[in-house]
Amino acid sequence: TPEKQIPGAAVCLENANVYNAFSTAAANFIEIMNISIILILISLNCCTAQVATCKDDADNNPPNVVSSSIMKSEGNPAWAPSAQNVDHNRDHSIVRTMANFIANNINIKVLAYSDDPPNLPPRNEKSKAKGVLLVDNRANDAAAWFVHTVPNFLAYLGGYSWPPTETAKGHMFLCLSLSEAHLNSVAKAIRYQEPYIYANNLPPALLNQHNELSNLATGVEIRITPFLEHAKFATKSAHAAANIQAFGKHSKSFADMYARVLRKRFAASIRIWAPSDARSKSICNGQYQLRKIASPMQFDGVQVSRENDNAKWALVEGKNTVCFTTNDYKAAEKQIPGAAVCLENAHVYNAFTAAASNVEACNK
């Protein structure tokens, strides 16, 4: 029940290809030192000539992860092996994307937030949001939003270091390349997640151009009902942009991210992969249902259990949309801030659908 009092957020991306990919596989399985690891990374289109953007292993596209898989939104998205394990400090997409965060670049300005930031004790008992904003301070119109699920990860100007305690757990990474015109939309959604900001060097000139970004950076409180934010924008791409919907749920909203926010805002049935309690059951009555994906599930032939997976996500049926979320499906979560980033892509949707084929009974 405490989760009802904890702020929440959701960023949703509408893309049929991405949705299909998530239906087939919800994570990637690897072996490192005989330890199973589930890692997910969805990277969305970017322009490689710019620095504040998502990059792949070859330094020219979006991110990837610990010897897991990388998926890009252009073409027909599909999981592909990453070039290097994420516990290595070079030659994989997370390092390449975050190169100008873990080391200084005077042209790239940053804002990072986490409830459990690196080199600090856990800072926020409510919000679970973790992410980094990168903004090119030149006239390139380039920005990136990187969200993840890893505690004690990504130290500002501290070099790259993977927390060994997280190797045995499943994690998710999502990087969106943006035009700076969307910074206010992203910043406002993040504000509703009640994040703890542990790094920020955004200059006054940039903040003066983007009021919501300034509100985020300076900690302006949310005081207006309904304490829910729903932003829509498209990623930046020279080819095919992806439709994104980002949700932010403040602790004062007392809203469940799945049953009330995603199911009702999309006006669709959803399937969810998130920890739940006995009070939070599947919803099988009415026009739009909510079904809990059965655990363990089979992801690309690999068994994945909910207990060992930090990733949380939802499939929006009939919309080719996958949402990456921060909330559990528990009564207490209504008081916990939350986020959902939803992407529309048929291939990604189908990839996740395959993994989500088995759902729990309606009385569970």
Q: What is the pLDDT of residues 312-358, one digit of tens each?
A: 999 999 999 999 999 999 999 999 999 999 999 888 898 889 889 89
What integer is the mean pLDDT of 198-208? Answer: 96
Say if residues 202 and 221 touch (Cβ distance below 8 Å): no
Quick check: 326 and 272 in contact, CB under 8 A?
no
Q: Which residue has the tokens 């990637």?
A: 28
Rounded-to-integer distance, Cα 195 and Cα 156, Å: 16
Asked if residue 362 is part of any domain, the answer here is: no
Question: How far is Cα 57 from Cα 8, in angstroms, rounded to an integer?
Answer: 31
63-77, 78-92, 184-198: lowest mean pLDDT where? Answer: 63-77
Measured in whole angstroms, how far is the alpha carbon of residue 229 from the centre of its chain?
16
Within a domain: 150: yes
Mean pLDDT of the chain: 81
**Which pLDDT score is estimated for 238?**
66
Between 31 and 90, name the one with better pLDDT.
90
What confidence category does residue 157 fall into, taking pLDDT thresholds of 50, 70 and 90?
very high
Query: pLDDT > 90: what percent of the chain?
Result: 50
Q: Is 13 exposed, middle or buried (0-12, 13-18, 19+ CB in 10 A)?
A: buried
Whether residue 203 has a cis bond before it, omega within 30° of 0:
no
Mean pLDDT of the region 194-215: 96
- 328: part of which helix (H) or strand (E)? none
Beta bridge partners of 283: 290
Q: Does residue 127 fall inside a structural domain?
A: yes
Place of tokens 């997370």: 94
| Overall number of domains in the chain | 1
Answer yes or no: is pLDDT of 285 > 70: yes
pLDDT value of residue 168: 79
- The neighbour count for residue 139, using CB atoms within 10 Å, is 6
Q: What is the pLDDT of residue 36?
A: 24
Domain range enclosing 41: 2-355
Strands 108-113 and 80-81: unpaired
361 lies in some domain: no
pLDDT > 90? residue 297: no
Please check whether residue 364 lies inside any domain of the structure: no
Q: What is the pLDDT of residues 3-54, one digit of tens each?
A: 566 665 555 556 665 555 555 443 332 222 222 223 445 444 433 333 576 7
Answer yes or no: is pLDDT of 306 > 60: yes
Please give the model's pTM, rounded to 2 decimal places: 0.83
Q: Is residue 363 part of a domain?
A: no
Asked if the structure places residue 326 within a domain, the reply is yes
Please indicate whether residue 89 or residue 268 has the higher confidence score (pLDDT): 268
